[in-house]
A and B are shown apart, each in its own frame.
Chain A
């Protein structure tokens, strides 16, 4: 089974600091990491390979330093990795990004399965996976929480939706986006890290993937970010700090009153 895993390098967003003046992210000292939700896609690919044999290839579009994401994916068990990096790719929205990744997948050649994370934690769109499948005209499903069975020309899978789980059968080759529930990603192993260092990873630009210039980067993107602002999150609510039993009782009474005012209770 040949599995491809498109991944994204994102800023570590748990400690994001915003510049209050410019409204942009302070990138100094922010470690770039693999999109945490992509780790589940990598893990699932590696597990499938361990079960049925085959090969797992990671690919990513990003700046040159995104090679670190590819190396980490290999350290986690991927066999190979390809970086799509070129100034022409910069500023791409999900339309242009999925186009480039789909072109790269065509160049890599026949595969059985493409696994994507549910979404990236920075852009938070979840649009690139379905976009890739659409460019490639292969079936896809989203929010997969389990690969139940690998069949001859199909997969039996479980899809997590708002009110339960769908059991689906999908023809291969196909693309799945997976949710966190699917597995526990492993940490990169020492041997894996060593292998990652020794692996030469190709870096492809537009001509390597026969990409049309008009579909690339900011120029090829139908959407435009016209403004960035920092949302005001502070609500200036009531804050009580009761000191003793009596004050605790009064605080809880005030809370119940507050809920009654809001017509919740």
Chain B
């Protein structure tokens, strides 16, 4: 049996399908259409809501393969990797894409070794080579300074993780039809040498910068810890998350989960508004795929202005209070 079909690895939380799954479906749909093959979404969980599974079909899947077991309630490497390895052996997909989330970036590398195939991390572009039918994977590397195009010519499945939020999902189409197949694997595959004892949700407001549509960030330019609260104020006004440059984190004005850039988080929000950040190569690499970038800096030569859609050269201590005030006025109106 030869390898055929495009698979996406969906994700769920508490039985609800996460939106990264929908983003993957859009990517997968385009690839499957080019190849003229089926698109399959794979979902692992304890008990996954039916509506969520149907929505996967409405958003592009031809088939959903579901494996349910209490051992799959939360992500743990071994049960997930073992199960997916078994499914790959059973169905032989030619392409498998996962989201470059903490789950996807953990599962995929192990799965690639087990399946004796290549894996390309954190892709921002996927396409099909018309001549060979191979997957063409594009990803930024060396701090976003280059874009590398990568193929896996002789190994199957061709595997890639895709940067979350690097595309928008397809709108659901309730007229789309497809199959939801519940499958089973050997229960021994659920054995795990890692146990999950507890989960502490991040209660700190605005810290999930990767999922946020709006991120307001500050850097060294704020000069003092107490001034950094302006970032929080504007973020609160726009229902956004708070980001910080490496300098700001190193100075203790924000914690590491807020750090934007190569050694922190890579983000692609609808709006990235930053002040007092000059824009090192590492920082820019973390924000380049943002939809809109607004920058405020007192140095007209700051690198950040090269990537900004809207920039103001000026003193953030003058500008931010005014921006805050005007935003409040707009909100009231």
Q: Which A residues form the contact surface with B (CB < 8 A)?
A: 11, 13-16, 18, 23-25, 36-37, 93-95, 98, 121-131, 133-135, 139-143, 156, 159-171, 174, 179-181, 221-231, 233-235, 237-242, 248-249, 251-253, 255-256, 258-260, 262, 264-265
Across the interface, B195 reaches (CB within 8 A) one of A127, A159, A169, namely A169
Please indicate the chain B residues that have their CB under 8 angstroms from the CB of A11 in the complex: 142
A-B contact count (CB 8 A): 273
B178 within 8 A of A: no
Query: Is B194's CB under 8 angstroms from A171's CB?
Result: yes
Q: Scan residues 85-116 of chain B and give those whose CB is less than 8 A from a CB of chain A.
A: 101-103, 105-106, 108-110, 112-114, 116
Query: Is A224's CB under 8 angstroms from B262's CB?
Result: no
Closest to B120 in A: A223
Please indicate the chain B residues that have their CB under 8 angstroms from the CB of A135 in the complex: 113
B306 within 8 A of A: yes
Please indicate the chain B residues that have their CB under 8 angstroms from the CB of A143 in the complex: 102, 106
- Interface-centre pick from B77, B152, B331 (highest chain A CB count, 10 A): B77
Query: Is A265's CB under 8 angstroms from B154's CB?
Result: no
- Interface-centre pick from A23, A124, A160, A238 (highest chain B CB count, 10 A): A124
Query: Is A160's CB under 8 angstroms from B257's CB?
Result: yes
How near does chain B come to A62, taking the closest CB pair, in angstroms? 16
How near does chain A come to B32, taking the closest CB pair, in angstroms? 22
> What is the CA–CA distance of A200 and B149 in the complex, to the nearest angstrom?
40
Please indicate the chain B residues that have their CB under 8 angstroms from the CB of A253 in the complex: 326
Selecting from B35-43, B224-232, B317-325, the interface stretch reads B317-325
Selecting from B48-56, B63-71, B292-300, the interface stretch reads B292-300
Across the interface, B311 reaches (CB within 8 A) one of A169, A181, A239, namely A239
B238 within 8 A of A: yes
Task: Label chain B's interface by main secondary structure.
Answer: mixed
Query: Is A239's CB under 8 angstroms from B155's CB?
Result: no
How near does chain B come to A239, taking the closest CB pair, in angstroms? 4
> What is the CA–CA distance of A137 and B114 in the complex, to the nearest angstrom?
10
> What is the CA–CA distance of A223 and B193 in the complex, to the nearest angstrom?
30
> What is the CA–CA distance of A182 and B245 in the complex, to the nearest angstrom?
18
Closest to A174 in B: B193
Query: Is B197's CB under 8 angstroms from A256's CB?
Result: no
Query: Is A235's CB under 8 angstroms from B197's CB?
Result: no
Closest to B146 in A: A228
Query: Is A166's CB under 8 angstroms from B198's CB?
Result: yes
Closest to B214 in A: A264
Can you list, as one digit per residue, whether each of B249-276 has a CB less than 8 Å from chain A (1) or not (0)? 0000001110100111000001100000
> What is the CA–CA distance of A16 and B142 in the complex, to the nearest angstrom?
8
26 intermolecular pairs with C-beta atoms under 8 Å apart: A13-B142, A13-B145, A18-B146, A25-B145, A123-B141, A124-B121, A124-B122, A127-B121, A130-B113, A140-B110, A163-B211, A164-B199, A168-B194, A170-B195, A180-B259, A223-B120, A223-B151, A228-B148, A231-B145, A233-B284, A233-B306, A239-B300, A239-B308, A240-B313, A256-B326, A258-B309
> What is the CA–CA distance of A98 and B121 in the complex, to the nearest angstrom?
15
How near does chain B come to A174, taking the closest CB pair, in angstroms? 7
Query: Is A224's CB under 8 angstroms from B152's CB?
Result: yes
Please indicate the chain A residues that have their CB under 8 angstroms from the CB of B148 in the complex: 225, 227-228
Can you list, as one digit per residue, whether each of B126-145 has a CB less than 8 Å from chain A (1) or not (0)? 00000000001000111111
Query: Is A255's CB under 8 angstroms from B323's CB?
Result: yes
Across the interface, B194 reaches (CB within 8 A) one of A36, A170, A249, namely A170
Query: Is B109's CB under 8 angstroms from A122's CB?
Result: no
Query: Is A167's CB under 8 angstroms from B193's CB?
Result: no
Please indicate the chain B residues that have their CB under 8 angstroms from the CB of A231 in the complex: 140, 144-147, 288
B310 within 8 A of A: yes
How near does chain B come to A143, taking the closest CB pair, in angstroms? 6
Query: Is B113's CB under 8 angstroms from A131's CB?
Result: yes
B332 within 8 A of A: no
